[in-house]
Chain A
Amino acid sequence: MAEFHDVFARAVKSGDASTLAAFTEGEPATKFKVYRNNVVKGAADTLGDAYPAIKRLVGEQFFQGMARAFWAAHPPSGRTLTLYGDGFADFIEMFEPARPLVYLADVARIERAWLEAHHSPDATPLKLADVKGLTPDELSTMAPGLHPSVRTLASDCPAFSIWRTNREDETVRKISLDAGGEIALVHRPHMEVRYRRLSPAEALFISRIGAGQNFAAASNAVADSFPGVEPAPLFIALLKQGIFMGKET
């Protein structure tokens, strides 16, 4: 009986039902297609829901082809499709027909960040009120780490702007690839996913906090690398947006 499951599973992967005839009443090929189509279409639809901007950028037909190729190379292993598609961006980067779209993989990375932030653990971010009573010394040596939903993505192209207009706008804005690189922030401080573009100084501050450094060290790093930037207001703005991990309750 294990043999039946082996043969059926192989047929679903290959699309070739001829080996199934020993187990079926009647000729299997045409009716077997229903199962194979359900599986492949189900995976492609799941990816389409998770990567709406990619689908919009390349069109339904191209997306279906790319998603089916991804499924063939990386079928789901976990028992839920909620976070299926890890590695889709890397796959897109190497997917020959998509090569001319140099921004596509980074746009996909932002979509993935959105999905991960959406389903990330619930946690209360550090609030302004939490640090109000602290002495300057206590605040400086505080190393709260990042809120678990925080994702940042640096791209050599305007991937964030491309993603955003394809996600939000009925008519997409024209974006020139000459606009240069961007850094995206995606996070979910409470129930709704938020996103915006980060300045390089903000991104540096966030990465230092994420690496376990304290506020003073992160501020010094910003002051050293970006002489024109005041670290204090930058820190307050990030704090208000719920980027840092709150105190355990």
Chain B
Amino acid sequence: MASVQPELVPAPEMGAGIGLKPQHYRSVLDSREEGLWAEVHPENYMTAGGPRLAWLEAIRQEHPLSLHGVALSLGGADRPDRAHLTRLRALADRYQPALMSEHLAWCAHDGTYFGDLFPTPYTQAQLDRFCAHVDETQDALGRKILIENPSIYLPLKSEMSEQAFLAEAVRRTGCGLLLDVNNVFVTSWNLGQDPYSYIDDVPGEAVGEIHLAGHEQDENLGDQLLIDTHGAPVIDDVWKLYDYTIRKIGTKPTLIERDSNLPPFDQLMLERGRAQDVLEAADG
């Protein structure tokens, strides 16, 4: 088996993709939409066997694949879990994804896995540690990964901006960025900042993928706090920010993330088609 390409540049056929859910396996497999690709959480495929793996194998033959990890806890206090890295490498070797990514966040500590993305203080000390974790991950995987900016609900005392933290991580580790435009919107809203100036700060050449998703208002705090639920359509303000982003940094493979209140495939593909249109218009 050939070693995994360390390229950050995505396969040229990657336009707009969708987060792959079991309910849509058959439809995605059968779809011949130009530019369509699929993204999964590799953790959901770390099983001994079973139909999920067989579906992924089949879909991988038809569409580019992205492995978007949620459990490495790169922003944590502890080194990446070695057993988890080994499983991740095995999946990458088997499915040869076009892209692999993780988060600027943490989700495990002291033997407990929390299954959510917690915030990281943007300090020099934490930056050193985060970069060491990214280095270790990229060494274990034998390839570069993309790092996603999180949605922030609770601002932490920090020494630099999130953009500066990410830019420095890119410079030190050679990692790329997964720019989640919805997370930029949610974080900026929650912190009272300007999402457009956030986009202006992003080193565009390092971005290898974009995420779009829907968010909702907190049930107690209303519009004072937006929550990145992946449970609703992308809102118009996020589409506008996406247009701006593409004009600013060029076309990038773009994913529609939807994890709850899953719509029928055709409806999800309409939303995905809107991103594909933006990409094709920008390329044309």
Contacts and interface: CB of A to CB of B under 8 A. Distances in A.
A9 B72 CA distance: 16
Interface in A177-208: 188, 191-192
Interface stretch (A74-82, A162-170, A238-246): A74-82
Contact of B81 (A1, A9, A38, A79): A79
Contact of B49 (A5, A76, A77, A119): A119
A164 B66 CA distance: 37
Contact of A28 (B50, B71, B154): B154
B167 to A, nearest CB: 20
B50 A122 contact: yes
Nearest to A123: B49
Contact of B112 (A33, A75, A122, A191): A75
B115 A31 contact: no
Interface in A47-83: 75-83
Interface stretch (A19-27, A88-96, A217-225, A229-237): A19-27
Interface string A13-51: 100000010011110101111110011001100100000
A219 B118 CA distance: 57
B113 A77 contact: yes
Contacts, number: 122
Interface in A120-147: 120-123
Interface in B43-57: 43-44, 46-54
A82 B46 contact: yes
Nearest to B47: A119
Contacts of B129: 1
A23 B155 CA distance: 9
A191 B114 contact: no
A4 B156 CA distance: 10
Given A76-B112, A79-B84, A191-B54, A31 B48 contact: no
A154 B159 CA distance: 60
Given A79-B108, A119-B47, A35 B153 contact: yes
Nearest to A38: B116
Contact of B50 (A5, A33, A120): A120
A139 B43 CA distance: 42
A9 B109 contact: yes
A8 B118 contact: yes
B218 interface: yes
A13 B111 CA distance: 13
Given A24-B157, A34-B153, A43 B115 contact: yes
Contacts of A188: 50
A75 B107 CA distance: 12
A25 B51 CA distance: 46
A39 B115 contact: yes
B1 interface: no
A122 B129 CA distance: 39
B147 to A, nearest CB: 18
Q: Which of B48, B52, B108, B220 has the largest count of A CB atoms less than 10 A from its CB?
A: B48
B43 A80 contact: yes
B176 interface: no
A46 B52 CA distance: 17
B110 A6 contact: yes
Given A6-B110, A39-B116, A120 B156 contact: no
Interface stretch (B9-17, B120-128, B267-275): B120-128
Contact of A1 (B108, B121, B225): B121
A34 B123 CA distance: 23
A225 B172 CA distance: 71
B221 A42 contact: no
B118 A23 contact: no
Interface string B210-243: 0000000010110001010000000000000000
Given A30-B220, A38-B116, A5 B48 contact: no
Q: Which of B53, B81, B118, B123 has the largest count of A CB atoms less than 10 A from its CB?
A: B118
Contacts of B123: 1
B154 A34 contact: yes
Contact of A5 (B44, B109, B111, B225): B109
23 contacts: A1-B126, A5-B106, A6-B77, A9-B109, A23-B121, A23-B156, A24-B154, A25-B155, A26-B155, A30-B225, A34-B218, A35-B153, A39-B115, A42-B115, A77-B111, A77-B113, A79-B84, A80-B71, A82-B44, A82-B47, A119-B48, A121-B48, A122-B49
Given A1-B125, A9-B112, A24-B154, 4 more contacts: A6-B77, A122-B54, A188-B50, A191-B51
Cβ-closest 3 pairs across A and B? A122-B49, A119-B47, A79-B71
